[in-house]
Amino acid sequence: MAETSSKTKYYVGVDLGGTKILSGVFRNSLECVGTAKLSTKSQRGVPAVIERVARCVREALDEADLPLKQVAGVGVGAPGAVNFAEGRVIFAPNMEGWKDVPLKKRLEKQLGLPVFIENDCNIAALGVHVAELKAKPRSLIGIFVGTGIGGGLIINGNLYAGFNHTAGEIGHMVLDVNGPKCGCGNKGCFEALASRTAIFQQIKAGVKDGAKTLLTDMLGDHLDDLRSGDLRKAIRRGDKFVAHIVEDAAEYIGIGVANLVNLFSPEVVVLGGGVMEALADEMMSIIVKTARDYAMPGTMKGVEIIASKLGDAAGITGAAVLARRETR
């Protein structure tokens, strides 16, 4: 249970995703004292989702036995393009109707607290940088591999968003100009080659073509409800078909890392997201080896390539860091 001295201020971090909303209450030290989770239900429309975000904040506070008034600020990581200064979600392709939504204003009205909005991958990179790495690296790239692939940049010790606040859109870096079609309309984007969506598509196409895999024993022929963790289980039980597809994805991630190291010369590259959380043991050594093979001589000297230990909590942690930064 958290201290309830009325002088102690807390921060709430929210990770708003296409399928679920996570929230966490953090002390100034970034220790987490309560969390909550709700499904997003984006089909119910924008106002309903905003209400659910507010509810998720309240539920995390209830878990922590804290009243709203002890919260100094709320940070929200939102998917898609975000206007930080105005607190608007410009466009979130994975959520129905999310176009130019004044999320900051609406949430502030519901909660009576200052709210700050950032892109979800920027937020996750900030969380890893400040909470996991104690803000030591001067430059860092966060690569988050899940349904899609997103990135966040720390440059000269600070989150870097660029001119249009869109920097770090690494998922649509073209790696294979003649490669598989991407949701964005281009071919061979990073996320069309190595995201969970890309991995699952290859597995389903292989099964359709008669490939043998333990996954069909585990989940049935249609592989309904396939999750990243199932891939890990299948590989550990000796499934060569799944192992091969995951290795290919890890190689593409390694090439992506090499491109980014050539371009940014970061001190640290951090890999996170659901796919990495489930498959870090299977993928990291291939990612590191491929990245070192592909990067230019001299660019990798002293560069750390690591898997984040924050897992799913990177988003809520980073959102709390943002709230702390903006209210101090």
Binding a second copy (rule: CB under 8 A), the pick from 27, 51, 58, 91 is: 91
Binding a second copy (rule: CB under 8 A), the pick from 243, 259, 286, 327 is: 259
Q: Which of 201, 316, 296 is nearest to 255 (CA)?
A: 296
Question: Would you say 249 and 217 are in contact if contact means Cβ atoms under 8 Å apart?
Answer: no
For residue 227, what is the DSSP state? Answer: -
Binding-site string for a second copy from residue 291 to residue 310, where x marks contact by CB under 8 A and - marks none: ---x-xxxxxxxx-------
Distance between CA atoms of 235 and 17, rounded to whole angstroms?
28
Rg, Å, the chain Cα set: 20
Neighbours of 245 (CB within 10 A): 23
Distance between CA atoms of 116 and 159, rounded to whole angstroms?
14
Residue 254 interacting with a second copy (CB under 8 A): no
Residue 94 interacting with a second copy (CB under 8 A): no
Site size for a second copy (CB under 8 A): 50
Binding a second copy (rule: CB under 8 A), the pick from 169, 230, 282, 312 is: 169
Q: By CB neighbour count within 10 A (0-12 exposed, 13-18 middle, 19+ buried), where does 155 fall? A: middle
- Token digits of residue 35: 């969390």
Binding a second copy (rule: CB under 8 A), the pick from 134, 156, 224, 225 is: 156
Residue 84 interacting with a second copy (CB under 8 A): no
Stretch of residues binding a second copy (CB under 8 A), selected from 12-20, 217-225, 252-260, 280-288 = 252-260
Q: Across-strand partners of 24?
A: 13, 35
Compute the least distance from the CB of residue 222 to a second copy, in Å: 31
Binding a second copy (rule: CB under 8 A), the pick from 177, 209, 210, 238 is: 177
Q: Which residues bind a second copy (CB under 8 A)?
A: 81, 90-91, 138-139, 151, 155-156, 160-170, 172-179, 184, 186, 188, 252, 255, 258-260, 262-267, 294, 296-303
